């Protein structure tokens, strides 16, 4: 069939922005996405309208599941669909790649393989553990903890550093095998659960102590075990980041993503269509977008409605800060106004300074944002049409024991509220940083002092701001 093919893509080790560009482009072509359970559902939400998405766990239990995957891929490709088989990490590392290729060849289906970053490499590195180091690690080996029939792997290769996948559930047996293979009981060892994903947890110990510590910390799959001299965590400050997207914050320290809130898109079809129609007809003088999530969802709606950037031609674009501006920029849209102060306060100040404060505003804002911006703008004489494409709620996994950290970071008032409800004052035992004044104020209300550290300004500017 013309153009129909199967892409076997490595999705990377956890975060949705660790897929390759080639993988992302292929994902954009998909009519059907068949993804493994470990793949982040974040970027699946961003796929084109009408794409069929199936998690392979829906296709039965092992071993029939694998056959069902083959069948589904071939059936869809023969029907002329572009199929993406999306696998965690790299497709060639413990990923049934060989079976799937053979099945596609038997079915005479065209296919393309797109490499990904394996969790074996990416998960340790994100914890600042490079797998080679001059003098202490000249080689590394990646090994599975289990054989195909579920037994502990007894064939452990010799290397300076060993990375073990699928080892969380048989750790004691694995450690025993390592000792038998000659590994010193005092060898540094780390285990990282859900690496580069929300609620990642890390345990470090000597080889002989790791099982016990991992067990008492309830470490479960998916986890990567690293054994060898280099298996030590760095002393860089650990920041427990409670916001939705840690990407702009990673340079501030070691980020442990502990999202306090989760986004829930709202089904708001009628309102969206009417807002887009009015925008296309030049009925809004201003479009104000108050968060990255709002920007992403709004742009997706523009696309879904078969519209493009020209829809903004008659309006001025105002965003709440540099993060939201960057989402627009990725879509080749430049915000006309990016206020210096964080959030609604900055936007209001901007409008207060405007000569011409009149006009009709499309305000794209989360459903649980306070009404202050809307009422403030109305008082200035503007007509406000509010459009909410999402709401946020406390993350369902919030409340599990907090990992060790040096700094606690908040990027929104709703994050502060959710975190406070889950942990109370006992959650606030470390210095607190936050993104700006509005979040700082929310912390003040519960009696917590915080320092404003913006990821968008230089270290020097942050230091000066904290002196004021």
Q: How far is the CB of 382 from ligand SAH (least distance, A)?
A: 46
Residues 6+ apart with CB under 8 A from 160: 132, 136, 137, 138, 139, 140, 228, 229, 230
Q: How far is the CB of 411 from ligand SAH (least distance, A)?
A: 23
Tokens at 26, concatenated? 């292929």
- Tell me which DSSP letter residue 5 carries: -
Choose the binding region for ligand SAH from 62-70, 91-99, 151-159, 370-378 (rule: CB under 6 A): 91-99
253 binds ligand SAH (CB under 6 A): no
- Tell me which DSSP letter residue 12 carries: B
Q: How far is the CB of 86 from ligand SAH (least distance, A)?
A: 11
Q: How far is the CB of 408 from ligand SAH (least distance, A)?
A: 23
123 binds ligand SAH (CB under 6 A): yes
Q: For residue 89, is it left (φ>0), alpha (ψ between -120 and 50) or beta?
A: left
Choose the binding region for ligand SAH from 189-197, 206-214, 289-297, 437-445 (rule: CB under 6 A): 189-197
Please tell me whether residue 8 adopts helix, strand or coil conformation.
strand
Contact 392, 368 (CB under 8 A): yes
Taking CB under 6 A as the criterion, the residue among 6, 9, 11, 14 binding ligand SAH is: 14
Taking CB under 6 A as the criterion, the residue among 224, 260, 288, 335 binding ligand SAH is: 224
Taking CB under 6 A as the criterion, the residue among 56, 118, 324, 454 binding ligand SAH is: 118
Residues 6+ apart with CB under 8 A from 452: 433, 434, 435, 436, 437, 440, 462, 465, 466
Closest to 261 in 3D by CA, of 403, 439, 417 = 417
Burial code of 331-360, b = ≥16 C-beta within 10 A, e = fewer? Answer: eebebebbbebbbbbbbbebbeeeeeeebe
Taking CB under 6 A as the criterion, the residue among 76, 109, 129, 192 binding ligand SAH is: 192
CB-closest chain residue to ligand SAH: 89
95 binds ligand SAH (CB under 6 A): yes
16 binds ligand SAH (CB under 6 A): no
Q: How far is the CB of 431 from ligand SAH (least distance, A)?
A: 28
Q: How far is the CB of 391 from ligand SAH (least distance, A)?
A: 28
Taking CB under 6 A as the criterion, the residue among 8, 39, 69, 93 binding ligand SAH is: 93
Q: For 44-111, give the DSSP string.
A: TTTSPTT-EEEEGGGG-STTHHHHHHHHHHHHHHHTT--EEEEESB-TTSSS-HHHHHHHHHHTT--E
Tell me whether strands 286-289 and 254-257 are parallel, antiparallel or unpaired.
unpaired
214 binds ligand SAH (CB under 6 A): no
Choose the binding region for ligand SAH from 175-183, 190-198, 241-249, 375-383 (rule: CB under 6 A): 190-198
56 binds ligand SAH (CB under 6 A): no
Task: Specify burial of residue 185 (Cβ count, 10 A radius: 0-12, 13-18, 19+).
Answer: exposed
Q: Which is nearer to ligand SAH, 143 or 335 (CB)?
A: 143
Where does this chain bind ligand SAH (CB under 6 A)? 13-14, 38, 87-90, 93-95, 118-120, 123, 165-166, 192, 194-197, 221-224
């Amino acid at each position: 069939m013309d153009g129909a093919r199967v892409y076997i893509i490595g999705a990377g080790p956890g975060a949705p922005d660790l897929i390759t560009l080639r993988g992302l482009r292929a994902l954009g072509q998909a009519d059907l996405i068949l993804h493994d359970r470990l793949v982040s559902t974040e970027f699946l939400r961003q796929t084109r309208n009408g794409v069929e998405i199936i998690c392979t766990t829906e296709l039965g239990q092992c071993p029939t599941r694998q056959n069902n995957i083959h069948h589904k891929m071939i059936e869809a490709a023969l029907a002329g669909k572009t199929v993406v088989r999306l696998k965690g990490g790299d497709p060639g590392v413990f990923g049934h790649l060989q079976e799937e290729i053979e099945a596609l060849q038997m079915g005479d289906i065209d296919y393309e393989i797109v490499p990904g970053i394996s969790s074996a490499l990416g998960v340790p590195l994100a914890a600042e553990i490079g797998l080679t180091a001059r003098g202490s690690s000249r080689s590394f080996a990646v090994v599975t903890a289990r054989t195909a029939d579920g037994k502990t792997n007894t064939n452990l290769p010799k290397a300076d550093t060993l990375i073990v996948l699928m080892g969380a559930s048989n750790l004691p047996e694995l450690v025993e095998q390592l000792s038998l293979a000659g590994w010193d009981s005092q060898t540094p060892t780390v285990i990282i659960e859900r690496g580069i994903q929300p609620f990642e947890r890390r345990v470090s110990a000597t080889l002989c102590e790791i099982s016990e510590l991992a067990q008492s910390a309830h470490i479960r799959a998916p986890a990567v075990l690293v054994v060898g001299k280099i298996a030590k965590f760095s002393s860089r400050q650990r920041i427990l980041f409670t916001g939705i997207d840690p990407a702009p914050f990673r340079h501030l320290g070691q980020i442990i993503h502990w999202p306090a809130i989760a986004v829930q898109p709202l089904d708001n079809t009628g309102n969206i269509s009417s807002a887009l129609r009015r925008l296309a007809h030049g009925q809004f003088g201003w479009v104000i977008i108050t968060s990255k999530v709002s920007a992403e969802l709004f742009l997706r709606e523009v696309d879904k409605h078969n519209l493009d950037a020209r829809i903004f031609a008659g309006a001025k674009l105002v965003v709440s800060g540099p993060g939201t501006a960057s989402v627009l920029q990725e879509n080749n849209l430049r915000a006309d106004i990016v206020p210096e102060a964080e959030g609604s306060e900055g936007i209001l100040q901007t409008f207060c300074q405007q000569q011409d404060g009149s006009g009709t505003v499309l305000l794209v804002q989360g459903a649980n944002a306070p009404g202050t911006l809307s009422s403030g703008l109305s008082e200035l004489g503007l007509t406000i049409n509010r459009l909410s494409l999402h709401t946020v709620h406390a993350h369902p996994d919030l409340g599990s024991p907090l990992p060790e950290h040096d700094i606690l970071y908040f990027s929104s008032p709703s994050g502060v509220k959710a975190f406070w409800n889950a942990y109370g004052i006992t959650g606030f035992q470390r210095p607190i940083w936050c993104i700006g004044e509005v979040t700082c104020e929310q912390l003040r209300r519960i009696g917590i002092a915080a320092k404003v550290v913006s990821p968008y300004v230089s270290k020097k500017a942050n230091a000066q701001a904290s002196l004021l």
